[in-house]
Amino acid sequence: MLVKRLSEQRGAAHHGWLHSRHTFSFGHYWNPQEVGFSDLLVINDDQVAPGQGFGTHPHQDMEIVSYVLKGQLEHKDSMGNGSVIRAGDVQAMSAGTGVRHSEFNPSREEPVHFLQVWIVPDRKGVMPRYQQRHFGEQEKRGKLCLILSQEGEQGALAVWQDVRVHAGLFDGDEEARLDLAPNRYAYVHVARGTVTVNGEVLHEGDGARVRDESHLEISHGHQAELLVFDLRPNELPLL
């Protein structure tokens, strides 16, 4: 069963330099019916103006993932990491015992568009860590590429939770199938374009909770980019 979360149903924040859409409750947006799904706590669709960004701020005991769709995002943190992540890059930061970081758009002309995802970890008090990797178009074109997992296999980034995250690009007659183990949930988020998942059409910004399905069939994409989260069968994150 797929339960849609339509793009226009998401929360919104407009701060001049930042335009953000919140799939789940975040900041000043509160919806008691949308406080996460399984171990997935946050999906924020952020667009940051040139030369602007998030100043240094703290995190603790959270898996924080940035997936850049367009433009550049400059990252600095208290672990001593400093890098620029670009379209196709995935950044994963385990906040653990505590980390401070900033995220800025270094461009003077182009906005940066990225997804920020928070996953509740299965343990607390771990040593903070930072990972980054580029996943090229050829790795995602017409297929579901593993980008995050607990073990970090197949070149995926590692995350402290029983979750597997796939990214895919679909256009025209490209199709893919993802088998789900018994009693697993899933969440689909369409970052851009339009795509059909198990017969349901999803548009840019749409999401879907998936329960009681043995597999996901991805098809009929039109310039589509999506993330698929393979999750534990919990309704809400355990903070």
For residue 127 the two structure tokens come to: 């040593």
Is residue 217's pLDDT more than 90? yes
Q: What is the pLDDT of residues 163-216, one digit of tens each?
A: 999 999 999 999 999 999 999 999 999 999 999 999 999 999 999 999 999 999
Is residue 83's pLDDT more than 90? yes
Average pLDDT for 44-56: 96
Specify which residues 229 forms β-bridges with.
165, 187
- 139, containing H or E segment: helix 137-140
The string of DSSP letters for 162-199 reads: S-EEEEEEEEET--EEEE--TT-EEEEEEEEEEEEETT
pLDDT of residue 74: 96
Gap between the terminal Cα atoms of the chain: 26
Identify the structural domains of the chain with CATH numbers, from first to last. Answer: 2-231 (2.60.120.10)
For residue 210 the two structure tokens come to: 């998936």
Is residue 239's pLDDT more than 90? no
User: Is this model's pTM higher than 0.95 or not?
Assistant: yes
Question: What is the band of 19 on the pLDDT scale with cuts at 50, 70, 90?
Answer: very high
74 φ/ψ sector (left φ>0, alpha ψ -120 to 50, else beta): beta
